[in-house]
Amino acid sequence: MLFIALLLAYLSKYIIGAIVKPFTKKTKTIIDDLIIEAINAPIFAAIIAGGLWVGINRILTDAKIESIVNKIFIIIIFLLSAWQ
- The confidence band for 80, taking pLDDT boundaries of 50, 70 and 90, is confident
The per-residue pLDDT for range 5-38, each reduced to its tens digit, is 999 999 999 999 899 999 888 888 999 999 998 8
Task: List all residues 6 or more positions away from 38 whose beta carbon is below 8 Å from its beta carbon.
Answer: 84
Burial category of 47 from C-beta neighbours within 10 Å (exposed 0-12, middle 13-18, buried 19 and up): buried
Mean model confidence pLDDT for the chain: 88
Question: Does residue 84 surpass a pLDDT of 80?
Answer: no
Q: What is the pLDDT of residue 71?
A: 92
Number of domains in the chain: 1
What range defines the domain where residue 25 resides?
2-81
Q: What is the pLDDT of residue 77?
A: 85
Q: How far apart are CA 44 and CA 6, in angstroms?
A: 9
- Whether 13 and 39 have beta carbons less than 8 Å apart is answered as no
